[in-house]
Structure 1
Amino acid sequence: MKILDIYINGFGKFHGRNLTFHDGINIVYGKNEAGKSTIHTFIRSMLFGIERQRGRASRNDLYSRFEPWENSGTYEGQIRVEHKEHIYRIERTFQKNKKEFKVVDETAGREIEPTKAFLDDLLCGLSETSYINTISIGQLKSATDEGMVTELKNYIANLNTTGNLALNITKAAACLKSQRKELEAQMVPEAARTYTSLLSEIRNIEKEISAPEYENQIQTYQKLRVDMKTDLEERQAEKEELIKKVARGRQVLTSNQFTDHESIQSYSQKAKAHYDDYMEAQAACNRKPRKIASAISLIIATLLLCSTGIIYYMGESNYFSAYYGVDLILLLSIFVSSALIFYLIGLILFLRLRHHLKDMEMSGKILQEILSRHLGDTDISPDSIQAFQNRMAEFTRLCSAVSKSEAAISQKAAEIEDLNKKLEGCGVTIEIQQKSQWELEKKLDHLSGCKTQAEGLKHILAENDRIREEISAVDLALETMTNLSSSIRDSFGLYLNKAASDLIAGITGGIYTSMSVDENLNIFLNTKTKLVPLEQVSSGTMDQVYLALRLAAATLIQTGDEKMPFIFDDSFVLYDDDRLKTGLKWLSATYTNQIIIFTCHQREAQMMTANLMPYHLIEI
């Protein structure tokens, strides 16, 4: 496989950044903090993805450390690779809420489903752990020569034992043995005997409580008492509601000065009588003949009085005395009496009219007060009287409802009293059987405790069975691991030592011809004249041995004809100029696949230019 180019759209400090890689050696140069580690991690993340850790581990995991510095809405990128004459574009979005992974075959012009089989073929069979520990090569991290020797021994021991950098047979075996001891400590050997004893006790208790003397009458009475209490509470609640309803109705009636049907009927009849009086008085006052007769009587009386005055003034010469011989005194008496009669008639008619007006006014005031109180209106009309009568009918219905509710209250009170008597009787019955109930409850509590304990022991027994299965699995794993380790040591370990020895001869420029490891994992470098222990070589030579081992492991682990690009991350820091020149020449001549070198120095590019070695420089 070969990396063609990458596009970073939100990863660490980079946003919208393109980098193109060529065949052969690619040198990625940048000063410290320029972002080399970010690009290196981006390539790894595009190939294998990023998994967000949980809890405290997420604070400083790979996902958090390389979240975009700006424009955090995008956390994604692309990488184009060439594999088996096809160009693939890998697209990933790392954001946890919209994580995406897509592979496009640009040569075939279609999207590829990223199955495990396809990815294994594309990545030459490497897992992320194998990638990190083989083709992604850094320098030895130990600061001292002694620490570097220990690190190299651990690396060789692990490879020589298992053929996989992610495993360590010794540690794994120790871990399994420790796990076996922990599992044995978790077992409860007395659980089976205790469980059998409990089952026997449970059967005896169940037989005892099934006797007739423990027949479940108490529970029946308790249920009956609960039901009666519920019924009693419901009836009391209904009674309280009826009392409130009656109180509200009585309050309405009392506020309108009513007590019962008779008071409402009397009040209605009284209002009707006032209305009849009002209408009668109004009719009487509106009769014109009486008004006219009263006025005519007064006018006639006035005329008679005037005539009496004239006759008196004329004396015996008046018409009636002169022609008819009527005595003057008699004539005056007749006129005066007639005038008084007509005045009396007019006065009587006037007083009767005044009396009707007063009756109408009084009845009107009473009616207006009644209508204002019950209708909020003082207009006296047939419609108002009809509305008043409807209002009185509502009060009548309310009074009937109140009476019915009061009767219902009495009925509820009787029912409540009856229920209270029944409750008292039920309580007496329960008290009589209290002793049997207490004994039964004790036995039931004991039975419940036994069953709870038995259920817990059942889980313990199941756990014991599970632990035995795990112990058997651990024993099988130990046996299998022991058997396989010898086979792996005899196969992969020999191939690794041979491949590393061939590489050491080239990378050291022939100074050391091979490498050998004895049964105690002591490492020796071979020259033409002697074996040199690893502890006696320089730090730079140790770094060369480390590089040779990584290259050998990568060559052996990868499957298929094509190989992954080698990526060097400041791997040549400990190399002097001669050693660096030899190493670069050897890499250029030996490894024909793509190589990517991240460095913060310019000497790699300068040395390759000076020695006319082709390379592609990328500055960041």
Structure 2
Amino acid sequence: MIIKRIDIRKFGVLQSCQENFSDGLNIIYGENEAGKSTMQQFLKGMLFGLEKKRGKASEGDPYQKYEPWDAPSFYSGSMVFETGGREFLLERNFYSKEKTSRLLNVQDFEELSVEHGDLQMLLGGISKAAYENTYFISQDRLLPGKDLGALLADEKNNFSRTGDGSFQLSAAVRTLQDRRKRYEKQRKILQTEREERFRQLETEEAVLMRDYESVKIKIQEKKEERKRIEYRIESFRKENIKSAGGIVPPGDENEKRAWNPWIIFGVVCFLLNHLLKGTLHLPGAVFFILQAIFAGMVVFGIVRVFQQKKAEELREIQERSSTEQKEEQQEAEINRMYESVKMIQGALAAIEEEGRDRELSLENIREQKKEQSTAGAEELELLRKEEAVCLAEEILKKLSADFQADRDDFLNEQMSEIISQITKGKYDDIRINEKHGIEVVSEFQTRKPEAYSQATMQQMYFAYRMAAGRLLAGEEKLPLMFDEAFAGYDRQRLLAVLQWLARQEQQVFLFTCRELEADILRENQIKFQEIRL
């Protein structure tokens, strides 16, 4: 990719600024506050956009730093670049309230879409973060950020490039972990609710069981009460039959008492007196007196019999009345007992119905307990998703481990080659470690870059960033941009790195406030274009 020219309308201290660039080494010279860093940020903003940050993230925000306070709607510019043998025009308005972008193929006037990833595709799929940590070195960030290690971890055999640069393996693993934790949390919530419901059902079952046992006791008590009353009814009936069998019929007693001794004695004497009249030779007066006496005795006996009969009839009537009254009382008592039986039967039926309801409720609760004792469909589905996410997480981690060696070998080879060239072979073995930092192997010892001088450390991290850029950018040769990146180098180190840059196939932008870089390039007859701000 070659940036051919830019047109800055308003961007920080730069306004109405047009510049053309060569496809090789470009030295942009300017004194302090001339706009060198501003131009570097403009180039990056054109390639990757410039978003306005809010809240705590707005501290040091490039958008607010370079926004023209007097005319924010003119916060814009354009760029012409070439890639893949085609020339494109890129226009951007950075103003957040009027934000627009336009990408045009200059040769056939085809309109492309920045929003849909066409520019990202032309950039080889590299992300803004990856570019900032590799090919883009600003004076306030000479060393790579901590996220370069994560970006390299995401590469994993070029997994970081999906056309729009949005995929990152570490982010994908974190996403899977977050999703797994979310599924696990949801599943545990359902499990807790299910277990709580199971405990509630156990409590309800215990209460129902007590009620059911109480109902069963009531049923037994009512049955026993009914049985006692039925037994009383049966006993009552048997007693009535027995007493009825012991009553002497009134006629028999009357027949026994039909003959009175006075009647019998009077009749016998009357007849004997009549028969013995001639024998005894009783005077007529005596005879008639005796006959009168004997007749009186007969009359008295008859009267007596009549009186007894009347008394018997009266007693019989009284006894019959008493018997009928007693029978009525007994019948009433029996009817009352029958009513009691009916009432008990009704109460028993109600209690038995209540018992059946309790039994049905117990069956329902036991069925619910059975359902709650095992995971439901939703819980099983969450468990299935959780296991699937775990499997995907393990697969990604396995892929990460499988391609780790190849990626590390590539980085080690590239870093070692670059450091050897810019240090004239003094250091020729740099390796990436497990934490995605770098270590220098020298005289069979491994040391961190921080163990060396500041300039040497910067050389090592320069090699690290260039090698990482080759890995992350792939085949696309993106521009290299350095803002006072070599201010700490001595003349020998600066010559070595400039010679290395001149040999690269990539376009180079070197922003500096010193004449030293240009002087060295001229002395060594290295071709470059100089732009003064």
Shorter chain as denominator, the TM-score bin is 0.5 to 0.7
Q: Which secondary structure does the structure 2 equivalent of 1:73 belong to?
A: helix
Q: Which secondary structure does the structure 2 equivalent of 1:191 belong to?
A: helix
Q: Does 1:583 align with 2:532?
A: no
Decide whether aligned partners of structure 1 residues 469 and 9 sit closer, same or farther in structure 2, where only a CA change above 3 A counts: farther
Decide whether aligned partners of structure 1 residues 111 and 482 sit closer, same or farther in structure 2, where only a CA change above 3 A counts: closer
Q: Does 1:511 align with 2:426?
A: yes
User: Which residue of 537, 554, 567 maps to 2:481?
Assistant: 567
Q: Separation in 1 of the partners of 2:171 and 2:112?
A: 42
| Aligned-residue offset at 1:500 | 1.2
Q: Separation in 1 of the partners of 2:434 and 2:50?
A: 40
| Aligned-residue offset at 1:63 | 2.8
User: Which residue of 379, 388, 404 maps to 1:489?
Assistant: 404
Describe the superposition over 1:147-190 as per-residue Cα deviations: whole angstroms up to 9, x where unpaired: xxxx7796785466443799685996699489839954993333
| Aligned-residue offset at 1:26 | 0.6
Describe the superposition over 1:399-436 as per-residue Cα deviations: whole angstroms up to 9, x where unpaired: xxxxxxxxxxxxxxxxxxxxxxxxxxxxxxxxxxxxxx
Decide whether aligned partners of structure 1 residues 498 and 47 sit closer, same or farther in structure 2, where only a CA change above 3 A counts: same
5 Å-filtered alignment, 1:131-280, equals: 131-138=131-138, 141=141, 158=150, 161-163=153-155, 176=177, 180=181, 184=185, 187-188=188-189, 189-194=191-196
Decide whether aligned partners of structure 1 residues 468 and 585 sit closer, same or farther in structure 2, where only a CA change above 3 A counts: same
Q: Is the 8 A contact 2:408 2:432 kept in 1?
A: no
Describe the superposition over 1:523-558 as per-residue Cα deviations: whole angstroms up to 9, x where unpaired: 12447x977664542221111111111111222222
Q: Separation in 2 of the partners of 1:533 and 1:190?
A: 51
Paired AA for residue 488 in structure 2: L
Aligned residue in 2 for 1:44: 44
Decide whether aligned partners of structure 1 residues 614 and 186 sit closer, same or farther in structure 2, where only a CA change above 3 A counts: same
| Aligned-residue offset at 1:597 | 0.9
Q: Separation in 1 of the partners of 2:109 and 2:170?
A: 46
Paired AA for residue 155 in structure 2: G
Aligned residue in 2 for 1:408: none
Aligned residue in 2 for 1:123: 123
Q: Is the 8 A contact 2:80 2:88 kept in 1?
A: yes
Aligned residue in 2 for 1:616: 529
5 Å-filtered alignment, 1:13-412, equals: 13-55=13-55, 57-58=57-58, 61-114=61-114, 116=116, 118-138=118-138, 141=141, 158=150, 161-163=153-155, 176=177, 180=181, 184=185, 187-188=188-189, 189-194=191-196
Decide whether aligned partners of structure 1 residues 198 and 126 sit closer, same or farther in structure 2, where only a CA change above 3 A counts: same
Q: Which secondary structure does the structure 2 equivalent of 1:187 belong to?
A: helix
Q: Which secondary structure does the structure 2 equivalent of 1:190 belong to?
A: helix
Describe the superposition over 1:275-315 as per-residue Cα deviations: whole angstroms up to 9, x where unpaired: xxxxxxxxxxxxxxxxxxxxxxxxxxxxxxxxxxxxxxxxx
Q: Which secondary structure does the structure 2 equivalent of 1:119 belong to?
A: helix
Q: Separation in 2 of the partners of 1:476 and 1:495?
A: 29
User: Which residue of 520, 535, 545 maps to 2:460?
Assistant: 545
| Aligned-residue offset at 1:115 | 6.8
Q: Does 1:607 align with 2:523?
A: no
User: Which residue of 403, 426, 439 maps to 1:523?
Assistant: 439
Q: How many residues align?
A: 352
Decide whether aligned partners of structure 1 residues 502 and 12 sit closer, same or farther in structure 2, where only a CA change above 3 A counts: same
Q: Is the 8 A contact 1:52 1:58 kept in 2?
A: yes
Q: Separation in 2 of the partners of 1:468 and 1:18?
A: 61
Decide whether aligned partners of structure 1 residues 463 and 533 sit closer, same or farther in structure 2, where only a CA change above 3 A counts: same
Q: Separation in 1 of the partners of 2:10 and 2:493?
A: 38
54-63 or 501-510, larger mean C-alpha shift: 54-63
Q: Separation in 1 of the partners of 2:14 and 2:111?
A: 27
More helix by share: 1
Decide whether aligned partners of structure 1 residues 103 and 158 sit closer, same or farther in structure 2, where only a CA change above 3 A counts: closer
Describe the superposition over 1:240-279 as per-residue Cα deviations: whole angstroms up to 9, x where unpaired: xxxxxxxxxxxxxxxxxxxxxxxxxxxxxxxxxxxxxxxx
Q: Which secondary structure does the structure 1 equivalent of 2:505 belong to?
A: coil
Q: Separation in 2 of the partners of 1:537 and 1:174?
A: 39
Q: Separation in 2 of the partners of 1:152 and 1:12?
A: 25
Describe the superposition over 1:203-254 as per-residue Cα deviations: whole angstroms up to 9, x where unpaired: xxxxxxxxxxxxxxxxxxxxxxxxxxxxxxxxxxxxxxxxxxxxxxxxxxxx
Q: Separation in 2 of the partners of 1:495 and 1:105?
A: 35
Q: Separation in 1 of the partners of 2:100 and 2:151?
A: 35
Aligned residue in 1 for 2:291: none
User: Which residue of 473, 476, 483 maps to 1:558?
Assistant: 473
Q: Is the 8 A contact 2:113 2:119 kept in 1?
A: no
Q: Is the 8 A contact 1:162 1:489 kept in 2?
A: no
| Aligned-residue offset at 1:65 | 2.5
Q: Separation in 1 of the partners of 2:121 and 2:171?
A: 31
Q: Is the 8 A contact 1:163 1:488 kept in 2?
A: no
| Aligned-residue offset at 1:511 | 1.4
Decide whether aligned partners of structure 1 residues 5 and 545 sit closer, same or farther in structure 2, where only a CA change above 3 A counts: same
* 5+ residue gaps, structure 2: 161-166, 204-375
Describe the superposition over 1:89-142 as per-residue Cα deviations: whole angstroms up to 9, x where unpaired: 101112233222111222234433447463244212212122112211246858
Q: Separation in 1 of the partners of 2:101 and 2:519?
A: 39
Describe the superposition over 1:72-97 as per-residue Cα deviations: whole angstroms up to 9, x where unpaired: 23121101101222221101112233
Aligned residue in 1 for 2:367: none
Paired AA for residue 104 in structure 1: L
| Aligned-residue offset at 1:12 | 1.9
Q: Is the 8 A contact 2:152 2:472 kept in 1?
A: no
Q: Separation in 2 of the partners of 1:173 and 1:27?
A: 42
Q: Separation in 1 of the partners of 2:7 and 2:497?
A: 31
Decide whether aligned partners of structure 1 residues 546 and 522 sit closer, same or farther in structure 2, where only a CA change above 3 A counts: closer
Q: Is the 8 A contact 1:169 1:481 kept in 2?
A: no
Aligned residue in 2 for 1:286: none
Paired AA for residue 93 in structure 2: T
Decide whether aligned partners of structure 1 residues 121 and 522 sit closer, same or farther in structure 2, where only a CA change above 3 A counts: closer
Q: Separation in 1 of the partners of 2:130 and 2:145?
A: 18
Paired AA for residue 163 in structure 1: E
5-14 or 529-538, larger mean C-alpha shift: 529-538
Q: Is the 8 A contact 2:130 2:151 kept in 1?
A: no
User: Which residue of 480, 487, 506 maps to 1:593?
Assistant: 506
* 5+ residue gaps, structure 1: 143-150, 202-460
Q: Is the 8 A contact 1:516 1:526 kept in 2?
A: no
Q: Which secondary structure does the structure 2 equivalent of 1:101 belong to?
A: strand
| Aligned-residue offset at 1:595 | 0.4
Decide whether aligned partners of structure 1 residues 84 and 169 sit closer, same or farther in structure 2, where only a CA change above 3 A counts: closer
Q: Is the 8 A contact 1:504 1:545 kept in 2?
A: yes
Q: Separation in 1 of the partners of 2:82 and 2:403?
A: 33
Q: Which secondary structure does the structure 1 equivalent of 2:10 belong to?
A: strand
Paired AA for residue 20 in structure 1: N
Q: Separation in 2 of the partners of 1:58 and 1:22?
A: 35
Q: Which secondary structure does the structure 1 equivalent of 2:520 belong to?
A: helix
Q: Separation in 1 of the partners of 2:477 and 2:441?
A: 28
How much identity, in percent, do the aligned residues show? 30
Q: Which secondary structure does the structure 2 equivalent of 1:51 belong to?
A: coil
Q: Is the 8 A contact 2:183 2:382 kept in 1?
A: no
| Aligned-residue offset at 1:599 | 1.8
